[in-house]
Amino acid sequence: MATVTSKANGDWADATTWDSDPAIPANGDSVVIAHLVNMDYDNITAAIGLAALTINSGKQLYWTPGTLGTLHMDGNLTNNATLGLSLGNSGNQITLGAAGAPWMARIFFDGNFGVTGTGTNESGSVARARVMDYAASSADARHLILTNGMADLQAGDQIVVSQASVSDYGTIHTVTAYNSGTKEITVGVDWGRAITAGDMVILLTRAIRIEGTNSAALIVNGASTPETYGGVEWYTGNTNAELYTNRSYRTLHDCSFYNFRSRVASNSEQVAFTDCVAYYCGSMVSGLRAATLTRVYVIGAASGHQLVANGFGTTVIDSEVRNLSAGLLNRSGGCVVSDCVAKDSANSLDVTYSKALVSIRNTFVNCTTGGSLTNDLNQSIGDRLINCVLGAGVENNGYNNRDTSPPWALTISDKHDGGSGRKSFSLGGILTTQAVVVPDSRTQAYQIVLESATYYGFCDWDFTIDAGESLTFDVWLRQNEAALDNEPQWQLIDPANDPLVDSTKSPLASYAPDLDADTWYAGTLTYANPSATERLPVKLRLIGRDATATIYGEFDEPVRFQAAYDYGFSR
């Protein structure tokens, strides 16, 4: 077939746009966009199946909103222009199609092809009213009642319902009818199981669909320059597929992802996903730095693993995962996860499969686990869980099998007073809050059940000392045996000179009396910041080592003092 090049700005369906005039590009042609060309597919009677399509620098192929059709590619779509491929945008959005035919703009790659080149792309379609809901009940084998309702749900939309276990992850169902008043969905094929209240329902269908039968990557173009994709349904049939890799500064909102069994995005930074859903994907993101995922909902698969793998400094907000073999994080560090839910997953919050790839120092705030799960966390270290509600799984499976340096402890709560208190895992034992063995006038104390003659059981609390300020703690200490391998202490630690990391370093201050069994001892820890200009971070640490003993400790909030005035307080 021929190579057809545009000769003027104009519509695709207008023969005067092309050097093939009086004909327009035909099946099998290779097309070169050398002008500004509008894709007005409604005006084209023959299907378009192109061997290749190239957009030259400074030019554009613009899919006109309201246009219905499929661009069939038997080769790559090579874009070398800034915003050279424009499938609508935020100011001129593509609208959802009619009932039974929801997709308005489709690009179909028949083979291992995708969008390549040095340019950038954009898309914009009208956002779906709601991309995730929960089942309130199931009327019968083909009906489901939603909790909140999806106002624009219609026949032809595709949905997935989460299942009750990792191995049973559900299938895609096509909606045949929806009653917005009763919030009842009807599908054409039986669910195949009983729907239960609380099952998560995600909506895959968007007005724009970009798919490939065997595409290893659908977006492989461009340098790390900003791109925005809104309202796209992405699909590939390649078992090792991903949307893109090594492409930073991407923004994706109101998108859905299906069958990216490797991962959606990898080895990039400053990527943002908002109001997105994914199904049957290996990972949502892998190897991303400083990424943000907000309201991202994932239903996994037998090959599915986790929401974030190998992430560093990633932020996850108000998101939920179901039926994943790992859960929210795997082999990640310095991530912040807040207001998230992980259910029916083998390891809900954080998991590490390899000692060489360590998940460390992540923070989870207001997160919930539950359902049919195995572990809340698996071999996780250095994480902090604040105000989290954990499900029925093992809280931190294999916490004492991690030979790591430095030996960070995982903390399952950061609450000193009231509530469920704090729980912390370290290689040498587990700290909990209890109200039975307490000092006089106290209502609670911490205990560490020590489990190792080799590793320390410990827990840290973080504080800062202002410039020129001194900090004083009232502390209490107790042990249940007369002699321990290493008797308990309260310590103040400079994190930059931690004795657990470097044995040649010493605490800033310590309280380490000779203890008799089953007797409380009271003392103080004081340290003055020698700097007149810099704040000093410190850790208050309760620590001990023994194969079988139990140690106890309690402390008051610190009293702070500067030469000019005392503004301390005590609890």
Distance separating alpha carbons of residues 263 and 254, to the nearest angstrom: 18
Q: Strand ranges (DSSP E) for 64-213?
A: 69-73, 77-79, 85-87, 105-109, 115-116, 121-123, 132-140, 143-146, 158-161, 172-179, 184-187, 200-203, 208-212
Distance separating alpha carbons of residues 17 and 511, to the nearest angstrom: 84
Q: Is domain 132-203 classified as CATH 2.120.10.30?
A: no
What pLDDT sits at residue 50?
92
- Better pLDDT: 396 or 34: 34
Any idea where the domains of the chain sit in the sequence?
1-125+209-221, 132-203, 426-561
Average of per-residue pLDDT values in the chain: 86
Greatest mean pLDDT range, 135-144, 410-419, 514-523, 554-563: 514-523
- A 10 A CB-CB count for 2 gives 14
What pLDDT sits at residue 516?
94
Which residues are CB-contacts of 420 (< 8 A; sequence separation ≥ 6)? 413, 433
Q: What burial class does residue 371 get, using C-beta atoms within 10 Å of its C-beta: 0-12 exposed, 13-18 middle, 19+ buried?
A: buried
Distance separating alpha carbons of residues 55 and 39, to the nearest angstrom: 13
Residue keyed to tokens 């620590």: 543
Give Dmax over CA atoms of the chain in angstroms: 101
Q: Per mean pLDDT, which range of 100-104, 178-182, 542-546 is the poorest?
A: 100-104
Question: pLDDT tens across 56-102, in order?
Answer: 999 999 998 888 888 899 999 999 999 999 998 888 899 999 998 89
* Cβ burial 383-422 (10 Å sphere, 16+ → b, else e): bbbbebebbebebbbebbebeeeebbbbbbbbebeeeebb
Please report the DSSP string for 294-308 in residue order: EEEEEE--TT--EEE
Smallest Cα–Cα separation from 492: which of 472, 476, 478? 472
**Confidence band of 565 (pLDDT split at 50, 70, 90):** very low
Question: pLDDT tens across 381-436, in order?
Answer: 677 777 777 775 677 777 666 555 555 556 665 433 334 578 888 888 888 889 99
What pLDDT sits at residue 489?
96
What pLDDT sits at residue 435?
92
Distance separating alpha carbons of residues 338 and 439, to the nearest angstrom: 35
Partners of residue 316 on adjacent β-strands:
293, 337
Please report the DSSP string for 198-235 in residue order: T-EEEE---SEEEEESS-SBSB----S--EEEESEEEE
Q: Per mean pLDDT, which range of 257-261, 356-360, 386-390, 462-466 is the poorest?
A: 356-360
For the chain, percent of residues with pLDDT exceeding 70: 88
The pLDDT of residue 357 is above 50? no
**Confidence band of 14 (pLDDT split at 50, 70, 90):** very high
Question: pLDDT tens across 302-354, in order?
Answer: 455 788 888 888 999 999 988 877 778 887 888 888 988 888 777 777 765 43
Which residues are CB-contacts of 429 (< 8 A; sequence separation ≥ 6)? 448, 449, 450, 451, 452, 457
What pLDDT sits at residue 223?
59
Question: pLDDT tens across 265-283, in order?
Answer: 888 788 899 999 999 888 8
Distance separating alpha carbons of residues 495 and 104, to the nearest angstrom: 57
Distance separating alpha carbons of residues 264 and 278, to the nearest angstrom: 9
- A 10 A CB-CB count for 280 gives 23
The pLDDT of residue 166 is above 70? no
Whether the domain at 132-203 and the domain at 426-561 fall into the same CATH topology: no
Selected from 1.10.1370.30, 3.90.226.10, 1.10.3720.10, 2.60.120.260, the CATH number assigned to the domain covering 426-561 reads 2.60.120.260
- A 10 A CB-CB count for 435 gives 10
Note whether 345 and 338 are within 8 A (CB). Answer: no
On whether the pTM is more than 0.85, the answer is no
Q: Are strands 115-116 and 143-146 parallel, antiparallel or unpaired?
A: unpaired
